[in-house]
């Protein structure tokens, strides 16, 4: 994808002073070398996504001092996300040029020492702040003074750096506060001779060329998207000249280009990559102006079609305009338009979508279909800090939802439909398996969310260990399948007589089935057991959470001042088609 020059971002950053957005983030950059322009570029990229970003750039090569001093300006700044970039030369010092001047055993010992130094700093950092820490791993220079004999050397130069990188990844594997950014992969992607410019290095200790700072900033934005929980969840696809070459209505079933030979192999590869996104949990949908019978035959019967009907959560194959179709898809899937990414080869359709629905991420596709795969792979819109079991099953779950919708249309009334679903609600406690999903739902859920409070995994973990809080989630199943963990509640036990409903939310996936009443019933029963007399709650309205507006009064809560209050002595009745069990 086309990237602007660094000068563009440096000019743009001055325009941000008077811009304010609802989403905010504080980012710190710590480095062993000059990081000119990185913070400014990230600020502009954040603003483009309606995020207000405040940055802190540590002093040149002072990362050790700033992390180890609890009174440093770094901690006074109070970052949400921090990036630590140490270059390979700084790491190895003189041994960068002379790694073979010490023995194999000494090289192995050095690898352990360097790994432990970095992890010790990271652990110290975590003691002083709640910030996420992203540690860049180390670029592996292509040059070795041993030349072609390098790979015949026992624990040679390249093996040392690979070992350090692997050690770092292993060390943070189960941490929810530390991550490793694959800087080595970044250098591989753009080329060592591009990313590292000797002239800039000699002039100002720049270990990353100014031309590639914007590309690095784009990579780091993935962590911003993941931290704020604003990743996209649905790819909406055109068909003709997007998933296959040609127009099926004109070229016919046998005339479209899709298969192992060019030009059909470009579309085949694009579909295979999309399928990998589906397996990761990204929802796929179709938005195509086409004759339904012609298009669905290709999807169902073409021998090289990788994406079959069951891979798509929604199908809009008709002659309606694409803006209306994508609104219908969003409504059917119960997701926001800002969760969608639109792929269409036609520049007119893309411009129509951008003008009418700017909240949809409309991808600029090149004319050459061989470039489609790279465009898709370079998108960081789907970045998350944790891929949960529910994420991986999401595509399958939405296909099951399509079958629920078909049943609903065939049953004359809603209650009859809900009775046929055989709804089961399993209330689960917050533990190491459920906490990532609980946090994810608080970060992403907008529609059926009482207060839209956003909590990171560390916050949920702290609540779950505090006896003054009741934290749980709900897994919902029905005859079509498992919807996964789709409900969350956090209750603050303010006193022996009164509890506060701090957080109550449902994923859009299970809205409209009265699941919320089953979860609330569990909370009320817990309160009764504890001798609590009343539960209070607040509804904090946002532009998106209107679906939960009537939840509290419909469940017997009465408005008293700033709060809604439910008196435990009241009888709470749940629909008889709900089956509830709890751990």
Residues 326 and 197 in one domain: no
- Residue 388 resides in a domain: no
Angstrom distance (rounded) from CA 10 to CA 3: 14
Q: State phi, psi for 203 to the nearest 5 degrees.
A: -75, -45
Angstrom distance (rounded) from CA 416 to CA 487: 23
Q: Where are the alpha helices (DSSP H) in 411-563?
A: 414-421, 435-444, 457-464, 515-529, 551-554
In the block, residue with structure tokens 């694959």: 182
- Residue 130 resides in a domain: yes
- Residue 344 resides in a domain: yes
Q: Which of 203, 228, 253 is the last residue of a domain?
A: 228
Residues 426 and 572 in one domain: yes
User: Considering its fold, how many domains does the chain have in total?
Assistant: 3
Residues 218 and 245 in one domain: no
Q: What is the pLDDT of residues 68-117, one digit of tens each?
A: 999 999 999 999 999 999 999 999 999 999 999 999 999 999 999 999 99
Helix (H, G, I), strand (E, B), or coil: what is residue 146? coil
Residues 187 and 95 in one domain: yes
Residues 254 and 210 in one domain: no
What is the domain-level CATH number for residue 154?
Answer: 3.40.50.1110
Residues 6 or more apart in contact with residue 350 via CB below 8 angstroms? 342, 344, 362, 363, 364, 365
Strands (E) across 196-277 are located at: 234-237
What is the domain-level CATH number for residue 262?
Answer: 3.40.50.1000
- Structural domain of 309: 234-378
- Residue 39 resides in a domain: yes
Quote the crossing angle between the two packed helices 213-228 and 38-48, to the nearest 10°: 50
Q: Supply the pLDDT for residue 394.
A: 82
Question: What's the whole-model pTM score?
Answer: 0.80
Q: Supply the pLDDT for residue 2.
A: 79
Residues 6 or more apart in contact with residue 7 via CB below 8 angstroms? none
- Angle at CA of residue 300, ends 298 and 302, nearest 5°: 50
Count H helices and E strands in the chain, helices first: 23, 19
Residues 216 and 294 in one domain: no
Angstrom distance (rounded) from CA 143 to CA 513: 62
- Residue 437 resides in a domain: yes
Residues 6 or more apart in contact with residue 384 via CB below 8 angstroms? 226, 231, 391, 440
Residues 316 and 347 in one domain: yes
Q: Is the dihedral of CA 175, 176, 181, 185 positive or negative?
A: positive
CA 400 to chain centre: 23
Helix (H, G, I), strand (E, B), or coil: what is residue 114? helix
What is the domain-level CATH number for residue 466?
Answer: 3.40.630.30
Angstrom distance (rounded) from CA 494 to CA 502: 10
- Residue 399 resides in a domain: no
Average pLDDT per 10 consecutive residues for the chain, totaling 583 residues: 90 87 95 95 96 96 96 97 97 94 96 97 96 97 92 94 97 94 97 95 93 97 96 97 95 96 97 96 95 96 96 95 96 92 96 96 96 96 88 81 82 84 95 94 93 95 96 94 94 97 93 94 96 96 92 96 94 91 92
Q: State phi, psi for 295 to the nearest 5 degrees.
A: -70, -40
Residues 244 and 274 in one domain: yes
Residues 567 and 481 in one domain: yes
Residues 28 and 136 in one domain: yes
Residues 241 and 196 in one domain: no
- Residue 384 resides in a domain: no
- Residue 400 resides in a domain: no
Q: What is the pLDDT of residues 193-235, one digit of tens each?
A: 999 999 999 999 999 999 999 999 999 999 999 999 999 999 9
Residues 460 and 541 in one domain: yes
Q: Which of 228, 245, 264 is the last residue of a domain?
A: 228
Q: Which of 204, 228, 252 is the last residue of a domain?
A: 228
């Amino acid at each position: 994808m086309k990237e602007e020059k660094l000068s563009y971002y440096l000019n743009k950053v001055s325009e941000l002073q008077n811009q304010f957005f609802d989403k905010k983030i504080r980012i710190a950059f710590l480095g062993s070398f000059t990081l000119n322009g990185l913070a400014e570029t990230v600020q502009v990229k954040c603003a483009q996504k309606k995020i207000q970003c405040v940055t802190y750039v540590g002093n040149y090569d002072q990362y050790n001092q700033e992390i180890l001093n609890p009174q440093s300006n770094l901690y006074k700044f109070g970052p949400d996300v921090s990036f630590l970039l140490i270059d390979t030369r700084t790491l190895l010092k003189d041994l960068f040029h002379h790694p073979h001047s010490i023995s194999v055993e000494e090289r192995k010992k050095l690898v352990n020492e360097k790994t432990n130094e970095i992890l010790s700093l990271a652990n110290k950092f975590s003691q002083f702040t709640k910030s996420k820490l992203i540690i860049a791993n180390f670029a592996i220079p292509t040059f070795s003074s041993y030349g072609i004999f390098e790979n015949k050397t026992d624990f040679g130069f390249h093996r040392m750096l690979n070992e350090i990188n692997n050690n770092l990844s292993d060390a943070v594997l189960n941490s929810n506060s530390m991550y490793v950014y694959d800087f080595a992969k970044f250098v591989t992607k753009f080329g060592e001779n591009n990313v590292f410019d000797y002239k800039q290095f000699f002039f100002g200790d720049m270990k990353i060329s100014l031309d590639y700072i914007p590309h690095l900033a784009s990579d780091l934005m993935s962590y911003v998207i993941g931290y704020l929980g604003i990743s996209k969840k649905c790819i909406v696809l055109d068909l003709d000249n997007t998933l296959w070459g040609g127009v099926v209505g004109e070229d016919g079933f046998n005339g479209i280009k899709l298969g192992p030979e060019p030009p059909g192999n470009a579309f085949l590869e694009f579909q295979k990559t999309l399928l990998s996104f589906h397996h990761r949990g990204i929802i796929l949908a179709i938005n195509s102006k086409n004759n339904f019978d012609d298009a669905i035959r290709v999807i169902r019967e073409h021998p090289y079609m990788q994406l079959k009907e069951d891979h798509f959560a929604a199908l809009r194959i008709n002659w309606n305009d694409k803006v209306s179709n994508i609104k219908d898809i969003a409504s059917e899937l119960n997701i926001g338009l800002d969760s969608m990414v639109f792929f269409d080869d036609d520049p007119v359709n893309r411009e129509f979508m951008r003008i009418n629905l700017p909240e949809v991420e409309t991808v600029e596709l090149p004319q050459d279909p061989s470039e489609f795969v790279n465009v898709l792979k370079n998108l960081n819109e789907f970045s998350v800090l944790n891929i949960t079991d529910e994420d991986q099953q999401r595509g399958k779950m939405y296909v099951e939802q399509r079958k629920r919708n078909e049943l609903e249309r065939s049953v004359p009334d809603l209650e009859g439909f809900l009775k046929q679903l055989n709804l089961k609600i399993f209330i689960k406690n917050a533990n190491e398996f459920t906490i990532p999903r609980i946090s994810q739902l608080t970060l992403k859920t907008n529609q059926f969310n009482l207060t839209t409070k956003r909590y990171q995994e560390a916050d949920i973990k702290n609540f779950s260990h505090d006896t003054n809080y009741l934290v749980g989630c709900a897994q919902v199943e029905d005859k079509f399948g498992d919807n996964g963990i789709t409900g969350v509640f956090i209750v603050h036990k303010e006193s022996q007589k009164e509890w506060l409903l701090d957080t109550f939310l449902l994923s859009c996936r299970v809205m409209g089935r009265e699941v919320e009443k089953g979860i609330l019933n569990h909370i009320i029963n817990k309160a009764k057991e504890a001798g609590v007399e009343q539960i209070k709650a607040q509804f904090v309205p946002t532009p998106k959470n209107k679906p939960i507006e009537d939840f509290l009064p419909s469940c017997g809560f009465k408005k008293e001042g700033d709060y809604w209050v439910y008196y435990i002595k009241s009888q709470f009745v749940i629909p008889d088609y709900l089956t509830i069990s709890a751990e």
